[in-house]
Amino acid sequence: MPYSPWLRAPAAPGSGVRLVCFPHAGGAASFFRDWAQRLGPAAEVYAVRYPGREDRIGEPLARTMEELTVPLADALAPLFDRPVVFFGHSMGASVAYETALRLADRGAGTPAALLASGRAAPHRLVPTGLADRDDVALISDVRSRGGPLAEALDHPDLLELVLPAIRADYRLLDDYAPRARLRTLDTAVTAYYGEHDPHVSPDSVRAWSGVSPDRFTSRGFDGDHFYLVPHAAALADDVSGRLTSVTPHPHLERTC
């Protein structure tokens, strides 16, 4: 796998299913830093690096979903010589889905499974308008969702670094939501959600069933939008079980 600025690759190649993890709005690849250890040999874990944060801090932030998914599809296509699974949390679920569509349209490969977490299905998305409001309103929304970003907002130096990325991602999502369309994919789909998430209803997350009606499952956790932080071990166990059931996609029978 050649180096790509879009992916944080495992330190050493493995033989398991390739799991590509897509971060939430304002988030970065480091959010998934413990996943390789938690999943062990079940997966070769890759984390997506969005521009404008962490080791890509000097690069322009993406303005549209297309600015993320076109280069991401290019970066991910070489991975499909083995089974690939996408996991996306919150905004990451939308990015994973749109990237999967682009790859499928190109004939470059289809993920064996799409794991969508804490995000309404494409046809259930509603713009928030928060990108155009002041910092106070934006920060209040981020705090209400919890997770590591909420903690970063308590530190002025970190706030200065992360707030531009948060605002850019919220604007990207507000642009995307009215245009999002539900399309089916030849893949298994699992939807995860926090049962007490005040921003994303379980029903809207379970609506991901429309992407793959015959191969859909869902699971709720006792938590809020970032349920996956306190339930990291349980989620890893669930994901690991799904990875072990993955079989090569027909696409893999031809040379990539």
Q: Which residues are part of the catalytic machinery?
A: 90
Buried b (16+ CB within 10 A) or exposed e, 82-109: bbbbbbbbbbbbbbbbbbbbbbbeeebb
Contact 205, 116 (CB under 8 A): yes
Angle, alpha carbons 44-49-51 (nearest 5°): 170
Whether residue 26 contacts residue 166, with contact meaning beta carbons closer than 8 Å, is answered with yes
CA 60 from centroid of its chain's CA atoms:
20
Residue 148 CB-density burial (10 A; 0-12 exposed, 13-18 middle, 19+ buried): middle
The whole-angstrom separation of Cα 195 and Cα 179 is: 27
